[in-house]
Amino acid sequence: MTPQQWLYSGDTGVSSLTIFHVMTGTVVDPTDCYRGSLDIPYDADDFGRCYRLLKSIPEWRGRLTEAATVLRKWAPLVERWNELEALYETSPSLCTDRLFELYPLCMKAEGWVRTGNYSLPRDSEVRK
């Protein structure tokens, strides 16, 4: 499958489109992550679209670290991608649980800090 065929397949979401844009060099502005144009997978459905994209274009799997280079919040996921794939293949609900556990690490990698149960300001905002 070509990247263009995948793009028109309909099996897309924000996180899988993020991989697509990183791999094709079409990330215009990495800060699009804050506007919802680029993001990480949050549950097994999101992860599944990323998983199927990388199965469809396997050469991109070996380049997944590029996503973490462009968007730092991907780093904790990329470091554990093999684990996440295994969980997705055996139990999507466990994959969702693990993604939920990794969310704070993803936010920290992007420069956010937890200041309360649901509060994640940027580190620079906390230091003011």
What b/e readout covers 90-123, taking b as 16+ CB neighbours within 10 angstroms?
A: eebeebbebbeebbeebbbbbebbeeeeeebeee
Q: Structural domain boundaries of the chain?
A: 3-126
Taking the model in full, what pTM does it have? 0.84
Per DSSP, the three-state class of 116 is: strand
Quick one: how far is CA 13 from the chain centroid? 11
Q: What is the pLDDT of residues 45-83, one digit of tens each?
A: 999 999 999 999 999 999 999 999 989 999 999 999 999
């994640």: which residue's tokens? 120
In 3D space, the residue among 90, 73, 64, 82 whose CA is nearest the CA of residue 30 turns out to be: 73
Distance CA 119, CA 108 (A): 12
Query: What is the pLDDT confidence band of residue 126, given thresholds at 50, 70 and 90?
Result: very low
In 3D space, the residue among 28, 90, 78, 87 whose CA is nearest the CA of residue 54 turns out to be: 78
Of all residues in the chain, what percent carry a pLDDT higher than 70? Answer: 81
Distance CA 118, CA 45 (A): 23
Contact (CB, 8 A) for 51 and 85: yes
